[in-house]
Structure formats: structure tokens, C-alpha cells
A and B are shown apart, each in its own frame.
Chain A
Amino acid sequence: MADAVAEKVIATLASVKRVPAEKITLDTNLQEMGIDSLDVFTLLFELENAFKISIPDDDVRSIKTVNDIVEGVKKLLATAPPNTSVGSTSTAD
């Protein structure tokens, strides 16, 4: 896989679910791989740390596949400068 963003997203996902990265592709459906709402919170947290981005709550609801995440991260990276300031994170509740 030549896409660095996709590679990092898959590595993060693999780490959160404790599965080998080779088992995850862009087409992998999150629900089918057993990702529940708590996993999503953790995944978003790890992605925000990994890419130094802040993911708005509204962007989260439409995510279904790994590719949705990759596209979403790319969009955030393209539109916003890296953001690590205090209070920038989205909240889960």
C-alpha cells in the first residue's frame, strides 16, 4: 500500500482491535470487524494523536468503512493545520 495516510489509519485500527494489520483493507466494514461505540471513541482518540488533528463529532457519524476514515482524515489534513492546542478535542458525550 503506497498511501501513507491509509497505512497509518490501518495500523491504528489494528492496534485498537489487537488484530494483524494485514487483515484490514480499505473496504473493511467497521461494524463487521466488531468495532463498537467504545472502540470508535478509542480509535478517534488514537487518530487525533497520530495525525495531530481534531475530528469534529459531525464527521464521525457517517463512517462505515476504513476508507471513510482515510478520506475523512485526508480532508482534515488538507483543510486544517495540525492542531494540538488545549481544548481542541471533540467530546464523546
Chain B
Amino acid sequence: MAARRVAITGLGIISPLGLNLADTWNALREGRPAIGPIKSVDGSKWGLKIQNGAEVRGFDPLKHFEGGKDAQLDRFAQFSVVAAREAIRNSGIELTSDLRERSAIVCGSAVGGQAAIEAGFEDLYIQGRGRVHPLTIPKTMSNAGASHISMDLGLSGPVYTISTACSSANHAIGQAFRLVRDGEADFAVTGGSEAIFTVGMLKAWEAMRVIAPDTCRPFSKDRRGMILGEGGAMLILEPLDAAKARGAKVYAEICGFGMTSDAHHLTQPTVDGPARAMRGALREAALAPETVGYINAHGTGTPGNDPVETRAIRAVFGAHADKIGVSSTKSLHGHALGAAGALEAVATVLALHHGILPPTANYNERDPECDLDYIPNHSRAMQVEAALSNSFAFGGLNAVVAFRAAQR
């Protein structure tokens, strides 16, 4: 089968910025960060130093899951299902029995059910109960999010989860794109979810000394590190022809995917690995570099990442790099690890769809080592032709997705 063009026809998201697509987009567009004091975890007993995060606030699982089902899903899997349901509704697709079998679900999650496993450890080691909750295993498994989407929506094609730390969701989206493009599936739900606000997880991040004490200021000279986030986001992918045939709204096309590894260091990024991933995405998309007008950067706000990513972008785009709007929306929704690429894919797709580029919030001061146009603090009305979304993971794993604006 010849390669097919792949349309994004539905989006769903639950994020620190909002519990649905409309609220999340409003906050992205207005550049309103959702970073503040962490409320869902009391780490005072454990000397937790991390104070701030980007939490999903006001989410009530009982509004989404009946008959005690909520207790069968860890928070990260609840996010998956809620986002997937919204994405399906948003796409307007009719799930025929044929389409259900010809579907694919590919999700990213770096950690899986962290709250479930920690609750079990607390029962065992702290409470000395000698028994843990019987659903600890199926709640903790990283594929729980994807599996629950499959059961919830009755989608019975290939379903799997990719766990590549902070690149998980981009790897997942890239795989789903290729399944639809190559005719392995006629429809895909893809994205990622993560829920990592637990004492154990926060202490582990604290030990890495990469978390900012205040907020996330990507590319700004006074940046002090990353801010953890959580949430879930799902995209609906269909062959462009099929989407047009059913009169679907096409948000954008997903047109290329590039992945590389640094083969270098567990946590220190290279310029070459990310640069090759961006080139790979452009090559697969058959996009001329000059068509790219927006990059949703990995932009963690750590001293290490941001200058290296800046140099990688310069290496790929040369003089055109100065004409690209580059923003890190992690400054708004935090770093949702395995869901980051999914949240940022939604931001990128909506940027192409609305002709509005979301900003890098909390930007104060130009850093000579970060010398691109970072769309500081205020979104920009600009219709661009194509965009990239970067994700780079600990372990040196780089995944870049290329998007093209829908033809109007």
C-alpha cells in the first residue's frame, strides 16, 4: 500500500492548564502558567524540598467512572481514558465494528501507576499491613492507560505503550503515525499520560537537583530548572482521504517523525542527537526547512538542556533558525515526562490550526547561549506552514514529530 497522508481529526486533553481542550487552549493562548505550590502531596514528614509543580486541579474521577471503576485505574490511566474520550467526541468519528478492528492505540508513559505502587509500599513498609491492594499490579503496569482506552472504547486492533522517559509520547505518536500512514491501521488513538505527584517520585526528582525552586523559565538566563507536571493528551489520526471523505475537521497533518539516540550520557544531552532527529522528521515529511515556522521545544528550563537544544536547532536550520518561533510550553503546563510530547503535540497542532503560537512564559532575560526567538511571555498571531515538536529523554533518546497545517 502506498504511503498515506495522515490527518489529525480529534484532540483530547486533561492538563494543569484545564480539564478539557477548550480550557487548556485558552490558557496556552493567553500564556497563563499553571505552576504553583504542590497541594496533592504532603511531603513535610519526608523533608521534601520541592515546593512547586503543575498539578491537574479539580479532577473528580467519580464524574468519569461509575460503579467503583475509578478505583481500578491509577490516576495516570484515568487521564488516558478521559483524554481519549474527549478526542473521540471531538473527532466526530463513527466507530463502526470494522473500524474498531482496524484501529490502533499507541500511548506513552514514563512511569505508569506510581501512586498505586507507592500506596502498596506504604501499606507494606510503613503500615506493616502484610498485604497490598489486590489491583496493585494492573494499576501500576505502564500499559494500563492504553489498555483501558481499548476496553472503554471497544478498540481491538494493536494496543501498546512506549516507555522512553520524557520522549515516550513522541515515540508513541510517531509509531501511530506510521501505522496509519503505512496502512497497518485505519484509525489511531495516540498520545500519553503521566501522574507523578507522589512523595517517592518527588524525592527521587529532588535528588537529581534539576527542579527549579520557583518556576520554569525556559531559555531565560535566570532559569533554574524544570517544574514537574502531569496530565494526559490524545490525538485521533486518520488517513487524510478518509477524513475528507467523511467531512471531518482536519486540525493539521502529521507528516514526519525522526528518532535518534545520543549514545553518550545518561543525562547530558548532545547537539548531534537532537539535530539528527529533527533532520529525520523533516526528511520523512519531505518538508523544506524554510517551511518550518514554529518549534515546540523540549525546553525543560534546565541550565543543561536549553543551550544545547538551541545549538541543535541552529545546526539544522542555519540562518532560517532566526525566523522560527521557538517556545517551550513547559513554562505553562510543567514537564509531564512521558505525557510531555502529547501535551505539546496538542499545543503545536492548535498553534497550526488557530494561527496562534503559544509563548514561553516566565521569560525574563536573554541568555547569550540561547539566542533564538522564544516568543517570550505573549502568544503570537502567526499562521505558519509547518511545525516541529521536540522531545529528548534521559538516556539520550530523541524523538521529533513534524506537523503541517491543514490545507484550507
Residues of A participating in the B interface, judged by any CB pair closer than 8 Å: 16-19, 34, 38-39, 41-42, 44-45, 48-49, 84-89, 92
A44-B134, A45-B133, A84-B130 are contacts. A38–B72 as well, Cβ < 8 Å? yes
Residues in chain B near residue A84, CB distance under 8 A: 129-130
Residue from A18, A41, A85 in contact with B67 in the complex, judged by beta carbons closer than 8 Å: A18
Asked whether B134 lies within 8 Å of A42 as measured between CB atoms, the reply is yes
Residue from A39, A86, A88, A92 in contact with B128 in the complex, judged by beta carbons closer than 8 Å: A86
Distance in angstroms from B67 CB to nearest chain A CB is 5
Q: Identify 17 residue pairs between A and B in the complex whose beta-carbon atoms are under 8 Å apart, listed by A's number.
A: A16-B68, A17-B68, A18-B67, A19-B67, A38-B72, A38-B135, A38-B138, A39-B68, A41-B135, A42-B135, A49-B129, A84-B130, A86-B128, A87-B130, A88-B131, A89-B130, A92-B134
Residues in chain B near residue A87, CB distance under 8 A: 130
A86-B130, A87-B130, A88-B130 are contacts. A17–B135 as well, Cβ < 8 Å? no
Asked whether A16 lies within 8 Å of B130 as measured between CB atoms, the reply is no
Asked whether A89 lies within 8 Å of B131 as measured between CB atoms, the reply is yes
Residues in chain A near residue B71, CB distance under 8 A: 16, 42
Residues of B participating in the A interface, judged by any CB pair closer than 8 Å: 62, 66-68, 70-72, 128-131, 133-135, 138
Residues in chain A near residue B131, CB distance under 8 A: 45, 48, 88-89
Distance in angstroms from A32 CB to nearest chain B CB is 13
Residues in chain A near residue B128, CB distance under 8 A: 86
CA distance A39 to B130 in the complex (A): 21
Distance in angstroms from A54 CB to nearest chain B CB is 9
Distance in angstroms from A18 CB to nearest chain B CB is 5
Residues in chain A near residue B67, CB distance under 8 A: 17-19, 34
Known: A41-B135, A44-B134. 15 other contacts (CB 8 A): A16-B68, A17-B68, A18-B62, A18-B66, A18-B67, A18-B68, A18-B70, A19-B67, A34-B67, A38-B138, A42-B68, A42-B71, A42-B134, A87-B130, A89-B131
Distance in angstroms from A13 CB to nearest chain B CB is 10
Residues in chain B near residue A49, CB distance under 8 A: 129
A16-B71, A34-B67 are contacts. A41–B134 as well, Cβ < 8 Å? yes
Tell me the nearest residue of chain B to A14, going by C-beta.
B68
CA distance A92 to B71 in the complex (A): 17
Residues in chain B near residue A85, CB distance under 8 A: 130
